């Protein structure tokens, strides 16, 4: 019983919206096709396959399965690659079998989910690989529409990010969100140490105490101020120097680390954020900057989608395909049963 409830809760996180299920997000010609086929009494059992235009980290399969579970209502099946799998160009990642009218109008949604989320997850993996074991936290929700931000954050975690910033994204990923206080709060409080003091007093003690140290003073000076004020309670400092001040550099990280160590605060970690991309991560690593975590936003949120294509390959057991494609069902030893 407990396992059933856990599985149901897992599925509920990816329940599609009413707009998707009603077909309002479908290309209208799929709606025309469904209307005509229904009027003609034609509803063949088909096999549709979905393949990728280029390599990446597959993401969106959980949401796609939410669509298919609702659409097929027990009268369909799906094989494919697992969420988070490394896929290659042209690989069939999903094979759906069922009555065409049950899932045909969802082709647009299925391809869109996979394209966008796989693009984000693949970008996240590039950042994680560049970080060489240093945790990457996703901070990019502010770069996309809020209705899709949770999917972006989930995809970033699938791609390898250690955490993400929004509660909605963290819920999809099954983790806790990461973050402490923004510049706006520090500006309202008038002082970084005072802002951290109130955070420390009022926010869940289980959250890491990470001070943002570029608001009012030099980053090294502010780091020492909060370290002296909070001692062992301070988990780390975050450097988020704006572009107007040259952003965070490896040299700045080395200086902050040295000054903290000299003052006896070698336990205080350093988090770097603010416009960091894959090349930037590599620069920090190449120059052996002692970064303990990276906060990455635009480098993931701005990733181009990885296009997917869907083809019918079999109708009522008969191999068929459009010109240029090979008729008949594919087979992939890396598939698992998804539905």
Question: Could you report the per-residue pLDDT of 246-297, keeping only the tens digit for each?
Answer: 999 999 999 999 999 999 999 999 999 999 999 999 999 999 999 999 999 9
In the chain, which residues have pLDDT < 50?
A: 1-2, 4-5
- Domain regions of the chain by residue span: 2-118+304-337, 132-301
Fold classified for 132-301: TIM Barrel (3.20.20)
**pTM higher than 0.75:** yes
The whole-angstrom separation of Cα 222 and Cα 226 is 6
User: Please, what sign has the CA dihedral across residues 23, 25, 29, 30?
Assistant: negative
Model pLDDT, residue 5 = 40
Alpha helices in the chain (DSSP H): 2-12, 18-21, 28-40, 61-72, 100-103, 107-131, 149-158, 167-173, 183-189, 192-202, 219-230, 250-262, 278-286, 298-301
Superfamily of domain 2-118+304-337: nicotinate phosphoribosyltransferase (3.20.140.10)
The whole-angstrom separation of Cα 93 and Cα 52 is 7
The whole-angstrom separation of Cα 236 and Cα 14 is 34
Q: Note whether 191 and 215 are within 8 A (CB).
A: no
Are 2-118+304-337 and 132-301 in the same CATH fold?
no
């Amino acid at each position: 019983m407990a396992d059933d409830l856990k599985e149901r809760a897992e599925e509920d996180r990816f329940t599609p919206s009413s707009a998707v299920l009603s077909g309002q997000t479908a290309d209208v010609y799929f709606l025309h096709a469904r209307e005509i086929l229904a009027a003609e009494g034609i509803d063949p059992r088909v096999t549709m396959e979905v393949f990728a235009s280029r390599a990446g980290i597959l993401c969106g399969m959980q949401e796609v399965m939410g669509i298919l579970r609702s659409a097929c209502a027990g009268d369909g099946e799906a094989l494919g690659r697992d969420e988070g799998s490394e896929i290659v160009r042209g690989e069939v990642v999903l094979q759906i079998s069922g009555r065409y009218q049950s899932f045909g109008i969802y082709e647009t949604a299925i391809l869109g989910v996979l394209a966008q989320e796989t693009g984000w997850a693949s970008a996240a993996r590039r950042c994680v690989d560049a970080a060489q074991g240093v945790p990457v936290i996703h901070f990019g929700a502010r770069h996309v529409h809020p209705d899709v931000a949770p999917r972006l954050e989930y995809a970033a975690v699938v791609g390898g990010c250690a955490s993400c910033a929004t509660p909605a994204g963290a819920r999809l990923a099954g983790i806790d969100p990461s973050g402490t206080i923004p510049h706006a709060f520090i500006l309202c409080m008038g002082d970084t140490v005072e802002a951290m003091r109130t955070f420390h007093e009022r926010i869940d003690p289980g959250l890491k105490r990470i001070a943002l140290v570029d608001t009012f003073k030099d980053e090294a000076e502010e780091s020492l101020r909060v370290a002296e004020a909070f001692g062992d309670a301070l988990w780390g400092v975050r450097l988020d120097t704006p572009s107007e001040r040259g952003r965070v550099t490896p040299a700045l990280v080395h200086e902050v680390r040295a000054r903290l160590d000299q003052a006896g605060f070698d336990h205080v970690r350093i988090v770097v954020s603010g416009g960091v991309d894959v090349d930037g991560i590599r620069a920090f690593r190449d120059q052996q900057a002692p970064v303990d975590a990276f906060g990455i936003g635009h480098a993931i949120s701005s990733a181009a989608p990885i296009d997917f294509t869907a083809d019918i390959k079999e109708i009522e057991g008969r191999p068929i395909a459009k010109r240029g494609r090979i008729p008949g069902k594919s087979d992939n030893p890396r598939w698992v049963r998804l539905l």
